[in-house]
Amino acid sequence: MRAFIFPGQGSQSVGMGKALADASPHAREVFEEVDDALGQRLFRLMSEGPADELTLTENAQPAIMANAIATLRVLEREGGISLADKADYVAGHSLGEYSALCAAGTFDLATTARLLKLRGRAMQAAVPVGEGAMAALLGADRERADLIAGTAVDQILAEGGETRVCSVANDNDPSQVVISGHRDAVERAVALARELGAKKAMLLPVSAPFHCSLMQDAADAMEDALRDVRLSAPVVPVFANVDAAALADPNAIRFALVQQVTGVVRWRESVLAMADAGVTSFVELGAKVLGTMVKRTVPDATPTSVVTMDDVEGLLKNF
């Protein structure tokens, strides 16, 4: 069995999608449609930068999605395949869940782009710049990360400080967990990490503390936006970040997308659940990020990354 998987924020880079667009009119069509939907020249930003503008959450999210869907479109149109015939499941990491839903037909491309633009703006606006932070804990599993984050909060309270948020945001694989929350609490967790059993901890270059309770305003904004959007049943089930379970009902998907903004990205559990369902092949579209996480979680799995036309042609030979 096979799952198509879609990357999240952090996988963007200047030049993304350009070679694919140069090689395929089908890829160009995707980028043009996204530009039209957003009323901006996003593809020019993806191709030429500047990097700091591309990295802005409201640009990075639709850009990553557009790049992944362009890759899928090339596979489908030039390879003569369909997602429904070649994938048993889809899943995406954080914003990648929107890419997965677009790929599976729950949202059309223009709607997905507009939702991600709104999501990016809402997440950035939820917490003033400088008040939040995120950090990666390496060599730590979910249980260890919970201990580190909780100890940081407890220490601040014991010292007479205010109640702070510091919690697991992304459970990526058995040795990589990301925490998120108030900056002082996350910095305290980084300082405690090695003492409490992590191999390494480092602050991440992000502009907001994603996937924690501080994002509630953004969750409310997405609830309002999704209320007025029509969702179709996906052509294959989608594994949701919030509960690491396969969803096919549009109402359940809508609820999961709202919960995802403040909830933990349960990627490790999602990969394990897909493997338990029989998935042995994981095809990542548009980046080379998730394959390593898959392999650390399920050593017997076969991850494949599809970014270039050569990658597309290589994958088609294996179908």
Please tell me the predicted confidence (pLDDT) of residue 206. Answer: 86
Spacing of C-alpha 97 from chain mean position: 6
This prediction has a pTM of: 0.96
Cβ contacts of 120 within 8 Å, gap of 6 or more: 56, 57, 58, 59, 60, 61, 62
Cβ contacts of 17 within 8 Å, gap of 6 or more: 27, 31, 43, 46, 47, 63, 66, 67, 70
Q: How do residues 213-256 score in pLDDT, each as one tens digit?
A: 999 999 999 999 999 999 999 999 999 999 999 999 999 999 99
Please tell me the predicted confidence (pLDDT) of residue 42. Answer: 97
Q: Are 286 and 307 in contact (CB under 8 A)?
A: yes
Query: Residue 319 — pLDDT band, cuts 50, 70, 90?
Result: confident
Tokens at residue 266, please? 């349960």
Tokens at residue 179, please? 């925490």
> Same topology for domains 2-126+213-318 and 132-203, yes or no?
no
**Which helix H or strand E contains 173, and what residues bound it?**
strand 166-173
d(C-alpha 112, C-alpha 197), whole Å: 40
d(C-alpha 244, C-alpha 43), whole Å: 32
Pick from 266, 218, 245: nearest CA to 61: 218
Query: Residue 318 — pLDDT band, cuts 50, 70, 90?
Result: confident
Homologous superfamily, domain 132-203: Malonyl-CoA ACP transacylase, ACP-binding (3.30.70.250)
Domain 2-126+213-318's class?
alpha beta
The catalytic site residues sit at: 94, 211
Helix segments in 167-208, DSSP class H: 183-192
d(C-alpha 275, C-alpha 267), whole Å: 12
Query: Residue 205 — pLDDT band, cuts 50, 70, 90?
Result: confident
Q: How do residues 252-288 score in pLDDT, each as one tens digit?
A: 999 999 999 999 999 999 999 999 999 999 999 999 9
Q: How do residues 159-174 score in pLDDT, each as one tens digit?
A: 999 999 999 999 999 9
Q: Is the pLDDT of residue 184 over 90?
A: yes
How buried is residue 188: exposed, middle or buried, by Cβ count under 10 Å (0-12/13-18/19+)? Answer: buried
Question: What is the residue whose two structure tokens read 């790929």?
Answer: 103
The full set of domain ranges for the chain reads 2-126+213-318, 132-203
